[in-house]
Structure 1
Amino acid sequence: MYRTIGLLTLILLAGCARIGAIGQAPELTPPSDGREHVAMAALAPAVTVPPTVLERASLWTAGPKSLLGDRRAGQRGDIMTVVVEIDEQAEFDNTSNRSRSGSERLAIPEFFGLPQSIDPRLPEGATLGSAVETNSQSRSSGSGGVRRNERLTLRIAATVVDVMPSGALRIEGRQEVRVNFELREMLVTGFVRPEDITRQNEITYDKIAAARISYGGRGQITDVQQPRYGQQLADIVLPF
């Protein structure tokens, strides 16, 4: 009884929270709440060494702001561009057939004279001469198919949030775009090697180890596409 009341109370509280969002656009996540801001804020200022007279007079320098300088991300707080271009197709077809048949017959025409002594007492036409006869036949067939087509193209800026002892860079990027009352959220995390970063400070998704790429949303359209709490609860509880 008390469990039922508690469950109904939780459902009502969840419904009240959703009622409070009626007519309101989904809130954007503050940039200061992400790990990217923490990595940039904790970054120690770089120690600059005054250039020599020869370096000041040279047209070719090795600094990151020079024409031939290395602008690739390599330290905590640096920013790079992640290019996600997923175009995958998969198709599977499986077919199976199985057939089995069997026949058994048990006859006891002479079993210590019992059939001859029992047959007169049986109904007309009944006899123990053919005591048991069985026939069985079974057949099953099945077919299954899977067809998948996924395509996703996006570019997102990611921040180096940590430098691992092996030299790999742990990156994390988040981007939120709100159009009217629908918010689209893109997330990417993983580990990259500094040598895989191109001269344009970009890296493709297939070079990210332990990549976690998420593209979803929240808002009115997403809310309509989701089943109600009662339906979700019924799908879990009902055994049929």
Structure 2
Amino acid sequence: MRSKALILFLIATASCGRLEDVGRAPAFGRAETSDEFRAMAGAAMPLGRGAEGSLWSRERGSLLGDRRAVQRGDILTVVIEIDDRAEISNSTGRSRAGSDSMGIPSLFGVPEAADKILPDGASLAEAVSTSSRSSYQGDGSVARKEKLTLRIAATVVEVMTNGVLRIEGSQEVRVNFELRELVVRGFVRPEDISRQNVITYDKIAGARISYGGRGQITDVQQPRLGQQIADIVLPF
């Protein structure tokens, strides 16, 4: 009884939360609460000053200076170009057959005496006879193709003790009543960042890339809450 009440309570709570968005576009997340904002809102990023009037200074503020992200609060561009394809196929076959028989045709006259009291057709001459046969065959295949091309600005949120940069970037685009969300996190080496202050996703260690959305289209594509619960609870 308590479990039923708990399920009904969870369904009602989830439904009420979604009913608040009826007729309204999904709200943007607050950027001020992210690690990106806190990193950029910290100490001001210093602007290097080269020799007065010099165009060849390597300071960040000069014409030919190195403007790659190197410290907390710096911004760089992450290029995500995923074009993966995988095909796997395998098959397995196995079979086994066996038979056993055992009889007692004579044992000091005991089988003959036993045959007289056994039902018609029964005899100890073939006391035990067994046979077994099993077979198994399995086939499996996987075909997958993924293609994703995106660009996103990420922020250096932490400089590790070994110089590796921890980056985080998020982007939200709302079209009518659908909100598309892109999130990227990971660790990069400063030397892997190009002179254009760009890094590709395959040079990000521990990369966590998420591209999804929420809104009316996503709601239609998802199974109803009751169906999801039934798929988890039902054993068949």
TM-score normalized by the length of structure 2: 0.93
Against the structure 1 CA distance between its residues 146 and 118, is the aligned structure 2 distance closer, same or farther, given a 3 Å change threshold?
Answer: same
Describe the superposition over 1:159-214 as per-residue Cα deviations: whole angstroms up to 9, x where unpaired: 11111111111110000111111111000011111111000100011111111111
Deviation at 1:154, TM superposition (A): 0.6
Query: Which amino acid is 2:148 matched to?
Result: L
Q: Which residue of 1 aligns with 2:9?
A: 9
Q: Which residue of 2 aligns with 1:42?
A: 42
Against the structure 1 CA distance between its residues 45 and 105, is the aligned structure 2 distance closer, same or farther, given a 3 Å change threshold?
Answer: closer
Against the structure 1 CA distance between its residues 25 and 114, is the aligned structure 2 distance closer, same or farther, given a 3 Å change threshold?
Answer: same
Q: Does 1:202 align with 2:194?
A: no
Q: Which residue of 2 aligns with 1:25?
A: 25
Q: Does 1:188 align with 2:184?
A: yes
Query: Unpaired runs of 5+ in structure 2?
Result: none
Against the structure 1 CA distance between its residues 132 and 48, is the aligned structure 2 distance closer, same or farther, given a 3 Å change threshold?
Answer: closer
The number of aligned residues is: 236
Distance in 2 of aligned mates of 1:45 and 1:65? 11
Deviation at 1:89, TM superposition (A): 1.3
Percent identical: 60
Against the structure 1 CA distance between its residues 47 and 202, is the aligned structure 2 distance closer, same or farther, given a 3 Å change threshold?
Answer: closer
Question: Does the CA-based 8 Å contact 2:47-2:61 persist in structure 1?
Answer: no
Against the structure 1 CA distance between its residues 221 and 136, is the aligned structure 2 distance closer, same or farther, given a 3 Å change threshold?
Answer: same
Deviation at 1:65, TM superposition (A): 4.0
Q: Which residue of 2 aligns with 1:72?
A: 68
Dislocated runs of 4+, deviation >4 Å: none
Q: Does 1:118 align with 2:114?
A: yes
Q: Which residue of 2 aligns with 1:238?
A: 234
Describe the superposition over 1:103-158 as per-residue Cα deviations: whole angstroms up to 9, x where unpaired: 11111110221221232334444322111112211111111111221111111100
Against the structure 1 CA distance between its residues 57 and 23, is the aligned structure 2 distance closer, same or farther, given a 3 Å change threshold?
Answer: closer
Describe the superposition over 1:31-57 as per-residue Cα deviations: whole angstroms up to 9, x where unpaired: 2222111111112352765x6xxx334
Of residues 146, 149, 172, the one that matches 1:176 is 172
Against the structure 1 CA distance between its residues 142 and 47, is the aligned structure 2 distance closer, same or farther, given a 3 Å change threshold?
Answer: closer
Deviation at 1:218, TM superposition (A): 0.6
Deviation at 1:84, TM superposition (A): 0.8
Against the structure 1 CA distance between its residues 203 and 96, is the aligned structure 2 distance closer, same or farther, given a 3 Å change threshold?
Answer: same
Moved more, 74-83 or 113-122: 113-122
TM-score normalized by the length of structure 1: 0.91
Against the structure 1 CA distance between its residues 68 and 20, is the aligned structure 2 distance closer, same or farther, given a 3 Å change threshold?
Answer: same
Q: Does 1:134 align with 2:130?
A: yes
Query: Which amino acid is 2:76 matched to?
Result: M
Query: Unpaired runs of 5+ in structure 1?
Result: none
Distance in 2 of aligned mates of 1:109 and 1:219? 82
Aligned CA RMSD, in angstroms, stands at 1.8
Q: Does 1:63 align with 2:59?
A: yes
